[in-house]
Amino acid sequence: MKFFVDSADIEQITALNDLGLADGVTTNPSIIAKSGRDFKQVVAEICAIVTGPVSAEVIALDADNMIAEGRELRKIADNICVKLPLTMDGLKACKVLSGMGIPTNVTLCFSANQALLAAKCGASFISPFIGRLDDINIDGLELIEDIRMIYDNYGYETEILAASIRNVNHIKDCALLGADVITSPPDVIRKMAYHPLTDAGLASFMKDWKKTGQTIL
């Protein structure tokens, strides 16, 4: 499974990339706005840090301007992946940009039918928002399972990029269900390393080692 970092925080992205835990990055208008910085500058810096795809989202709502914005975003770096909304205009833009060889990430997916349309239009990635479905008492993980089955049934190459990750169990369950990628806030990725028994065991080992009076260095 690939790990994408859902953030525009340069320091956090760099730290996870140094650990080999940033296979790519996803951004959106809200994330960039929180940074308080110039959109293109932030995206360019992120592209220079990671070698994998960096999703940068269009702002236009009509297909023609989405295509124009997508082509402009692609000029920032070779690893830019153009992020498009799952609307009919977004699907049209996806079809055109994908035909140009430009990677696309179709976002705000909330149904298997939407995911099927995105795959047929050549999307590189589909981003089902599992956390937002959970928020309204719909099982977001069931959506991952449905998309996986449909894509496998027909051999679609679109990668399932599980988004709106809220906790470490989301990541584990997405891995079990066969999602190709998860995109997560940095703190959730870091929490995957934590277990109380690990901490307790380490504390016990250190206590016993201290009694020996020895050092390794």
Domain assignments of the chain as residue spans, ordered by start: 2-212
The answer to whether 103 touches 124, Cβ cutoff 8 Å, is yes
Average pLDDT, the chain: 97
Active-site annotation, residues: 83
For the cut 90, the answer to whether the pLDDT of residue 34 exceeds it is no
The answer to whether 179 touches 162, Cβ cutoff 8 Å, is yes
Provide the CATH topology of domain 2-212: TIM Barrel (3.20.20)
Q: How deeply is 10 buried, as exposed, middle or buried, from its count of CB atoms within 10 A (0-12, 13-18, 19+)? A: middle
Q: pLDDT by residue (tens digit) across 36-94?
A: 889 999 999 999 999 999 999 999 999 999 999 999 999 999 999 999 999 999 999 99
Kindly state the percentage of the chain with pLDDT values over 90: 95
Query: Where does 30-147 show beta strands of DSSP type E?
Result: 54-57, 80-85, 104-109, 125-128
Structure tokens at 36: 């308080």
3-state secondary structure of 57: strand
pLDDT band (50, 70, 90) for residue 29: confident
DSSP string, 51-108: SS-EEEE---SSHHHHHHHHHHHHTT-TTEEEEEESSHHHHHHHHHHHHTT--EEEEE
